[in-house]
Structure formats: structure tokens, C-alpha cells
Structure 1
């Protein structure tokens, strides 16, 4: 995927604008987070450090800290406003062990493609619904691979190509009305290309329903999830364009409701021991026989 399609400043502005009320609008993110957490039930891992990549207000913190109470947790997000809002949320999930309070998660404002962490410093990289906000997932996946220790795990979710397909088809005016979404199989290839081993990808479709188009758009705006592509319409949408889009969407109404499709792509992969040195020389290991 080529760089230069996503307006990253617009992404930051959108999420910063909704940060204060995001806890009332992030139900979809929390739902996907819960489904990701269930996948950890089948993973044997005792991480000493976890990186939550694209953590927003820290919606995944509580479950991760409950599951891995001895791990240090770092939350990283592009929006400082989201990180500040997360510090103000109720802290009933803070942990107490032996009468002493464990430290709260670290919060870092940074780009997922340029992580301010040392190589091999993290055991689990967790990322819920971040990758589709990037021009290209590969730099972020490569950075995740760099900061993971050998044997470490990357687990992520993102949105697939069928997401909001009804909205795209309703407009059809040549402008972008949704993000560009990577295909599940392409993401699997990217993981392998970044050096990950044994990638596992799966997908499910969630369909939300609304009384009307305005209700759906209001919900997307409240969650900071409106289109941030560079080729979106930058001026106001004309009355005729809106009327055409509403009429097209109305033709999709089923059982009195308008559908909105979300394709959720889940992936996880492990960081295996390197097979060659950075300069390209092969690494050959010899297991010497044990004495006695």
C-alpha cells in the first residue's frame, strides 16, 4: 500500500476533538477489544512488558492488567488529548498487591511507525483497531517486530474492505467516504514480510443497524471515525449530493432499519529467533552433546 493517502493530521484532530466524551462513544471499540481478549485465553504467555499500540483512553488497560497483573503496561497513542483523558477516568481498576499500589500504565504520545522503545524490550504488542488509520501498516508492523523480544506476540484487530460498504455505494461521487481497508490475506503477507512467524488471521462481520443515515453519521463522528483520507470532500456536501446518497441508502433498508457493515480482521503472530544477522549472514546453531 502506498504512502500519502491518509491525512494523519486529520486523524489526530478528529480523535483529539472527541477525547473528552470518547468513553460514551467507544462501544464498538470495546466490543472488539472483548473479542480480542477472548483470543488470549488460548495463548500461553507471561509477559513482563506489554505495549498497547493505539491505546486511545486506555480501554484495554483494565482487562490486560487483570490478565497479566505482574506486567508493566505502556499505552501509546498519536493523540495527547486521548492520553490525558484516560488519566482522568475512574481508576477502580488500579491494582493492589500486598498492600502496595502497582504503578499505573505509562502513557506515550508517539507514532506507531516510530516507537520510542528499545529493540526486544516488549513481550506482547496489543493493538485494537489502529492499522486502518495508517497509510501503510508495514512500518508499524515492522516496528512491533523490532520491539518484541524473541518469543513475543503481536495481537491486533483492524477493519477489512467490506467495512461501511453501504456508505461507499450510497455516495459514489468520486470522493472517499471511508478509510482504505487492507485485506486479511494482504495483512498476513505483511506479517511474514516483516519477519513474523506463524501468522494466524481470521475475520468476522458485525452489522449494526440505525433508524436513519443521520443517526449512523452522528455515531461515527462521536467516535472520531469519520473518513480521514486525503481525497475526501474538503468542502460542504451539496444538498443534491446528500439527497442522492440518502435515497440510495434508503434502498438498503431491511426490517425498518438501515444496515452498516463492519468487517473485523483479527491477527496474531510470533517473533521467532532470527535466521540471519542484520548483514545477511545465516545463523547456524549447534547443540553440543551434554556430558554425563
Structure 2
């Protein structure tokens, strides 16, 4: 009887050991499966690798700040092109880069043009009143967003070029200085600009030479008003002006810039 009890106890202990061993093996196997097939773990690792690669690329090839000096040709459209002579325009722009392709730019430009127009006392422009000459100063300060195109897959030699487009808004100030007339108050309006350009790296990317075209859409107070107030012996008198003071402004500029 005692022998049977001992044998039964051994069987119970053996069964307990086998059960415990199988449970631990199942737990280890399940843990291995979970680690091997965790989709979120794989995705997070891939995302982190991509972000690290982008950061390394920006630190190696990117720019934080640029300072550019502009010099170029200023022209006009519509009535402005007949009344205002083309002129030299110059300015400066300061850009801050968010990444390799997007930047915000603060710019200032100024230009003086010769002005010539005539006034008439009739709507048919047959009775000439006066011919006026002088100059007009147009300056603007604006804020714009630049987008640089990715040129990594472009043919070697062209891949170093940095083409871009931009758009922005700014304040435009126009001041006349007309011979024989009283001083004019400056016209101040809000306008818009769009354009594009190309930058060529210099001095191991410490500087760049750029070309840029800008179209300024601006509407001054006399845009749709062909009347000019003349100073005559009897007092101010309105007359019809020709050519009309309407149109927009465009610039074609060279840029010498420095990267920081």
C-alpha cells in the first residue's frame, strides 16, 4: 500500500513538471512571434530612419539663411509703359529655409523712372493743355514663399542648379516729382508678386549667383482715372491725361547671394 502511494506521488510530480515546461515554451514562442510580426514596430523604425536621413541631408546640403543683393531692369505694362521709361532697380532679400525646398523671404526693392505725359482739356484729346516731365519713384517691401524644385535626378551638371518659384504680398509706395507742379503725396497700396528664378552655387555653396523674374500686380489710386489735376493761375483744374496711368510692374534681376 505504501509503495502504491509513493508511485502515485511520483506520477503527480512528473505531470506537474511536464505541464510547467510546456507552458514556458509556449510563452517564449508567443513572445518571439509578437516581436517578429509587430507591424507598428517596423513602421516606426522605418519612419525614424527616413527622418534621420532627411535631417542628415539637410545638415549636409541645406541652408538656414540667405542674404541676396539684387540689381536689374524694371519695366512696365499698358499705360505705364508709355508714361514711364524703363529704369534700373535694385534691392535686397533675406530668406529663411524651413527645409531643402521651402523658404520664406523678406524683400525690398526700389527704382526711379523718368515720366512724360500730356494733359488735354477735352475728351477727344485734341486740345493740348500741357506736357509734363519728371520722375517717379516706386519702392516695395514684401513677404513671399519660395519653393525650390528637387534636382537630384537631373543630369549631372544641371543637378547643382536651384530653380524655384515664389509668390507673395507687399506694400508698394509710388512718389511723383513733376516739374512745375506742387509736391505730390505718396500713393501707398497693397500689391502681389509672382515669379521664378535660378541659383548657381559659388564658393563651395557658400554663395550663389542668381537670375530672377518678378511680376508685380499693383493697382494705384488713379488706375481707372484718366484725370490729372493741374495747378493753374485760377487754382487747381482737372484735365484729361494721356497716356493713362494704369498697368503693372516687372523686374528682371541678377542676384549675388550668401548662404549661412
TM-score computed with the length of structure 1 as normaliser: 0.22
* Higher percent of residues as strand: 2
Kindly indicate whether structure 1 or structure 2 has the higher relative contact order, using CA contacts under 8 Å at least 6 residues apart: 1
